[in-house]
Structure 1
Amino acid sequence: MKIFKFALVVFLTTTSILSAQDKQVTLDEIWGGAFRQEYLQALRSLNNGEEYVVQDYDRSAKTMNVDVYSYKTGKKTRTLISSSAIGGLDIFQTYSLNDTEEKAILGTNIEGIFRRSTKGIFYVYDLGSKKLVQISEDKIQEPTLSPNGNQVAYVFENNIYTKDLASGKVTQVTKDGVDNEIINGVTDWVYEEEFMFVQAYQWNKDGSKIAFLRFDETQVPEFSMDLYGTYGKQLYPTQEVFKYPKAGENNSDVSLHMYDVKSGKTSAVDLKKEYEYLPRIKWSNDANILTVQAMNRHQNNLDLIAVNATNNEASVILNEQDDAYIDVTDNLTFLNDNSFIWTSEKNGWNHIYHYNKNGKLIDQVTDGKWEVTDYYGFDPKTGRIYFQSTENGSINRDVFSIRSNGKNKVQLTQKRGTNSADFSTDFTYFINTYSSATTPSEFTLHQAKNGKKLRDIKDNKQLLEQLEPYNFSEKEFSTISVNGNDLNMWMIKPSNFDPNKEYPLFMYQYSGPGSQSVSNTFSGSNDYWYQLLADEGYIIACVDGRGTGFKGAEFKKVTQNELGKYEVEDQIDAAKLLGDRDYVNADRIGIWGWSYGGFMSSNALLKGNDTFKMAIAVAPVTSWRFYDSIYTERYMTTPQENASGYDENSPINHVDKLKGAYLLVHGGGDDNVHVQNSMQMIEALVQANKQFDWAIYPDKDHGIYGGNTRLHLYTKMTNFIKENL
């Protein structure tokens, strides 16, 4: 009897384990946040080099803290800022410290504007006196303390203001700001989206001057979007109108200005040449020397200009030229002697260069057939530069240090996958963030001099334990030879994969210039969705074709002037090659993508109509004539110069080729890739009498999210795949 009971327990336990291992992931879990990772929020090193701070929200107490931790021990040493200890402030969402770490700007009621821009109610908090000063009663943008912390500058209704914190006196620096006409101190829509910055003003090192950009948008065409509001609560639609320069149309006229704090006078800076774009301004370590990056409209000729703030004299100290285009980065860094670090692709791969303050080359610091992917900084004590690169394979990232003369390179990370670093202010330590296809984010402390691991800080082992019952399939990395190139690829097969059976193949790609979809990093939400599809019997694959990044400039820039030609050829030919494999059903191959990927999946279905059975396109560009000037012209020049390049590879001009099933999805409030793209595509398909499926999500932007929106979208896509592949 006892033996029987024991056997029964073993049987039930074994059955339970087998059942648990067969657990199926659901869309509700994926989009309900069941698989969120733990991170170190708003990590920053303090000036003492011995401590770092992270932002932490206590959900139970409903308080926001900025907590201080010791690098050496890993223990919390104190709380720098706590909303519970600040009278007159219940909570804050954002914080930033001034250079001396004596004051902080705290943000509340933060409201998004576009992708990167926000406005909100902000306060200056004195960490010593615990005094709290509200900067303005109005919602403002981009508040920044002066270096000594005595004043704060900000932007309100397209004008720059300063406030003296001791007296409370507010000074209006500019007075001509008008919505959809003149902007001072923050960027216009297209700069924010494509040059990826919002704050367009900077204090100099001693706080005596503010340099800023002024955008004259008066000649830029307007774009309007109808917004319908919440069901039952809005009787009439509203309309959002903003300036949006499409390819070939007028851009903002951008000019550089200098404000002298003491005199209160503002002067224009004559750059001695007409430039279409001023994508970066940055003060050097000399309080009187400002640098400006300035480009032509084709973005293939960049001048680095030094401006003497005492007389506004401008001179070019460095020039970069390229047959295709030049990427703008934030890697410009000034050393103590005002020599500077610069990154460039001029030898065919992105590498680090060291120039003197006059722009004369001192050393090429890094070299090789691999890319520098991040620049972390320079340690003046040791003369070492810290950076991240693809030296150990284009799908991986490692952290290195090297002397500024290019010698004595040291690899500081050893685990294969994706490593990134946050260094202490004095470069004694760094916190490494690591993940791979099999490992969620791990945070560890290392010595900067040799990479030696000192201790673990945080990991996501709990998430791994949570995922164990699902028995997810491995993401297999490989390369596939397509059109003379070894292209990076990953593949996810069903967990019960049988090489003697045939499976439908569903491909994902993005394929935009310089992008990467095949990387050795841990799962995002889409990866869980792919596991769900694999459980349904699909093979999922992703191929990074020509035009994608981190394999050299030639590979990346081959698509110049012909976006959608070589990238589409590679996806079609890769699908054909995969279809030749014994375990792939060549008659059941589908493809999908979002944004540029939607442009690609549409083209692949149309131009590869004998290869792909179905495609899903989310928020696609359907003609580059509809997209913005900076992004599009960087790769295509203007429609006036390159009409055939725009039209021959735009899916809207190939609708007559549609054979397979096609699902077209767009957000009605997409300020980036306008719903106009899909509406024009819909009309073209209708007039070609082609049947297809489509969905518009009212008022949703380019990300198509909010409430149950993502769950609804992915349910729709999952059903479409099951019905058509």
Structure 2
Amino acid sequence: MPSTPRNSLESFSPDRKWKAFTRNYNLYLQNLETGEEIQLSKSGRKGMEYASFYGWSDLIEGENGERPDRFTVTWSPDSKKIYTQIVDLRLAEKMYMLDFSKPEKFRPDLLSYYRGSPGDSTVVKYIPVVFDLEKKSEKTFPQLTSPHFIGLNLNWSEDSQLLSGFFIHRGYKSYDLIELHAETGKIRTVYSENSDTHIQRDHIFRRLEDNTFILSSEKSGWNQLFLMDWATGKEIKALTQGEFVVNRLSHLDEKNRIAWLEISGKESGRNPYFNHLYRLHLDSGELELITKEDAFHEIYISPDGKYAVDNYSTVNQPTVSVLIDLSSGNQIAKISEADNSKLKNRGYQSPVSFTATAKDQQTVIHGIYYLPTTFSPKKNYPIIDYTYTGPHTSTVPKTFKAALFGHQQPMAELGFVVVTVDGLGSFGRSKAFADASYRNLGDGTTDHVLAITQLASKNRFLDIDRVGIFGHSAGGYDAARAMLLHPDFYKVGVSSAGDHDFRMEKAWWPEMYMGYPVGDFYHEQSNITNASRLKGRLLLAHGGVDENVNPSATFKLAEELIKAGKDFDLFIWPSRNHSFGRPPGDYFTKKRWDYFLEHLLGQQPLLHYQIPGIK
């Protein structure tokens, strides 16, 4: 095989005798010894494109421009077969943006991209296809067609006869673990799972040599591991059991039947989000704690499975790095310990963790609050809620680094107490905890109101009558939603890149977490629908060329606010996509600071001030 720089638009067979590539939307092979080219597919055309995929941020210039070239194939181990897909764009609809930011142009550029919204049938689709190189044959599997935002990732067996993987049904309420016979085209369902809300999108999965497999599932109410029989798809036994979350299978010693797992919530009396490393004996089920410190442990295991580097910390305990011998589970060396003396010398006070009772009046939820370095308990401080209630993540920092380098501490330095809460409906706890937000994403900040109120009742330095909120993306929706749902609690809000109506969002996220098919609950929880409820001061912000969350939602919300006679502020950054207002800061960071300084703290911001070192 020629030694050339890697080209993402071609792929070489494992035996290095063939090169696969596309031309005119069809898949070709080139014999690397003779140079002969073979056309494998014949029916490819624009809109039905072989061995391609649709990139998340594939922008098209103009209405009829070309999308970026993409290429994907998966070779069988024996180099005799290829698994790939046909990208079907025939009915797919686009979203549009205007780019006004080009300095050399006096008319905006029209940008478009394919993006399905919840419930749309007019989406980019993937049709799986298998090619047999010796027979020059092609088998398509239209029954496995999936929207591009789900896709189908299949892996070859070692004998090159079978493909297997997870086929997730649209709506994310069920999946099938399937096995596809490349020669006959027969599809066998190995195992299926379904949920009234949503199933997992990302599985812990490992095939074992004895024709069994390890699979994660929330069917018990918590994410646990199960040993399954590949031939029958039946459960052999639960490998883990209890009210805790298995986050990762970090390493598997199949010969000795030992697995190393990362688990949170198992140790009584500790923060349920703290990640720990455990050793699991597959046969006996014995689960042994390896990382014993009461902290969040970030684990990095060596490729040979002999050692692990453990970086552990909390929001108020600097990071300690140690080397662990996995065979014994003992620490064999202290690598380093972070020095926070310079922070302390500047008056830095670590954020304070707290708990509160959730809206169900029984679940304990966790939060954190930040103080300015000039803090005095004798003063009275406005409160700012930094929010991102997206159910696929938790927002409260767990580590020293995450606490230090987020949005919260810089905002606190302006004279605020900044609070972040992981309420019901967010990630990292039980399935019931997460399901609280299903068809109910609009209620995510109610737990924030309760948590802040409970916190203020115990801390007299908190001014419960001056509360603001900010967030970006799904957090931008949260911030605006909080101003409309709790208009007497939140007085000032900054909402950036908000997906203000989930019917206008990218399909996968709302279909999984808000519900599919689309129902009245989408309309009822839309910020656009509820615009007339605004009472406080609201700043809406968006990037002009944001292909992740199209700016049209912010424009529609602005239009409804105008119709309702509401005063608000609007900031559009013409050249920016979804990424702005992030740490370590930019022009919008100051805009956000200024808004709270003026409207929550009652101070006049410095005009034309530039943050040193930031453009």
Q: Please classify the TM superposition score into its range, dividing by the shorter chain length.
A: 0.7 to 0.9
TM-aligned CA distance change 1:175 to 1:236, over 3 Å:
farther
Equivalent residue number for residue 54 of structure 2: 188
Equivalent residue number for residue 589 of structure 2: 714
For structure 2, the 5+ residue unaligned runs are: 59-69, 601-615
Amino acid at match of 1:723: E
State the distance in 2 between where 1:172 and 1:609 align.
63
> Could you tell me whether the CA contact under 8 Å between 2:24 and 2:44 is conserved in 1?
yes
Q: Deviations over 1:517-561 (max 9, x none)?
A: 124223349845422332332111111111101110011012222
Structure 1 residue 254 corresponds to structure 2 residue 117: no
> Could you tell me whether the CA contact under 8 Å between 1:201 and 1:212 is conserved in 2?
yes
Q: Aligned to 1:332, which of 194, 202, 205?
A: 205
TM-aligned CA distance change 1:410 to 1:202, over 3 Å:
farther
Structure 1 residue 217 corresponds to structure 2 residue 73: no
Amino acid at match of 1:622: H
Structure 1 residue 651 corresponds to structure 2 residue 522: no
- CA shift, 1:330, in A, is 4.8
Amino acid at match of 2:534: L
> Could you tell me whether the CA contact under 8 Å between 2:319 and 2:338 is conserved in 1?
no
State the distance in 2 between where 1:627 and 1:561 align.
15
TM-aligned CA distance change 1:548 to 1:300, over 3 Å:
same
Amino acid at match of 1:659: K
TM-aligned CA distance change 1:154 to 1:329, over 3 Å:
farther
Structure 1 residue 386 corresponds to structure 2 residue 257: no
- TM-score of the two chains, using structure 2 as the length reference: 0.86
Q: Deviations over 1:557-585 (max 9, x none)?
A: 122222212x1322233333344342211
More deviation, 415-424/340-349:
415-424
Equivalent residue number for residue 32 of structure 1: none
Q: Per the alignment, in what secondary structure is the counterpart of residue 280 of structure 1? A: coil
Amino acid at match of 2:54: D
Structure 1 residue 133 corresponds to structure 2 residue 8: no
Equivalent residue number for residue 180 of structure 2: 307
Q: Per the alignment, in what secondary structure is the counterpart of residue 448 of structure 2? A: helix
> Could you tell me whether the CA contact under 8 Å between 1:363 and 1:406 is conserved in 2?
no
Q: How many residues align?
A: 578
State the distance in 2 between where 1:709 and 1:534 align.
15
Q: Deviations over 1:335-363 (max 9, x none)?
A: 22342221111110111112122222222
The residue correspondences of 1:178-577 to structure 2 (distance < 5 A) are: 181-188=47-54, 201-231=73-103, 233-250=104-121, 251-269=123-141, 271=143, 278-358=151-231, 359-390=233-264, 391-392=266-267, 393-405=271-283, 407-438=285-316, 444-455=322-333, 461=338, 464=340, 467-483=343-359, 484=361, 485-524=363-402, 527=405, 529-565=407-443, 567-577=444-454
Q: Aligned to 1:724, which of 599, 609, 613?
A: 599
> Could you tell me whether the CA contact under 8 Å between 1:183 and 1:216 is conserved in 2?
yes
Question: How much is the aligned-residue C-alpha RMSD, in angstroms?
Answer: 3.0
State the distance in 1 between where 2:56 and 2:239 align.
33
> Could you tell me whether the CA contact under 8 Å between 1:270 and 1:312 is conserved in 2?
no
> Could you tell me whether the CA contact under 8 Å between 1:190 and 1:245 is conserved in 2?
no
State the distance in 2 between where 1:628 and 1:428 align.
43
Amino acid at match of 1:224: Y
Q: Per the alignment, in what secondary structure is the counterpart of residue 431 of structure 1? A: strand
Amino acid at match of 1:575: I
Amino acid at match of 1:242: Y
Amino acid at match of 2:92: V
> Could you tell me whether the CA contact under 8 Å between 1:135 and 1:163 is conserved in 2?
no
Amino acid at match of 2:447: D
- TM-score of the two chains, using structure 1 as the length reference: 0.73
Amino acid at match of 1:344: S
Equivalent residue number for residue 117 of structure 1: none
More deviation, 202-211/302-311:
202-211
> Could you tell me whether the CA contact under 8 Å between 1:188 and 1:215 is conserved in 2?
yes
State the distance in 2 between where 1:168 and 1:559 align.
57
State the distance in 2 between where 1:274 and 1:281 align.
13
> Could you tell me whether the CA contact under 8 Å between 1:472 and 1:531 is conserved in 2?
no
Amino acid at match of 2:481: N
What's the % identity of the aligned pairs? 23
TM-aligned CA distance change 1:444 to 1:214, over 3 Å:
farther
Amino acid at match of 2:237: D
> Could you tell me whether the CA contact under 8 Å between 1:445 and 1:455 is conserved in 2?
yes
State the distance in 2 between where 1:220 and 1:265 align.
28
Q: Per the alignment, in what secondary structure is the counterpart of residue 523 of structure 1? A: helix
Equivalent residue number for residue 17 of structure 1: none
State the distance in 2 between where 1:153 and 1:454 align.
48
State the distance in 1 between where 2:352 and 2:22 align.
49
TM-aligned CA distance change 1:582 to 1:469, over 3 Å:
closer
TM-aligned CA distance change 1:716 to 1:155, over 3 Å:
farther
> Could you tell me whether the CA contact under 8 Å between 1:514 and 1:547 is conserved in 2?
no
- CA shift, 1:266, in A, is 2.2
Amino acid at match of 2:113: F
Amino acid at match of 1:298: G
Amino acid at match of 2:598: E
TM-aligned CA distance change 1:214 to 1:438, over 3 Å:
farther
Q: Per the alignment, in what secondary structure is the counterpart of residue 714 of structure 1? A: helix
For structure 1, the 5+ residue unaligned runs are: 1-123, 125-130, 193-197
The residue correspondences of 1:679-698 to structure 2 (distance < 5 A) are: 679-698=555-574
TM-aligned CA distance change 1:377 to 1:612, over 3 Å:
same
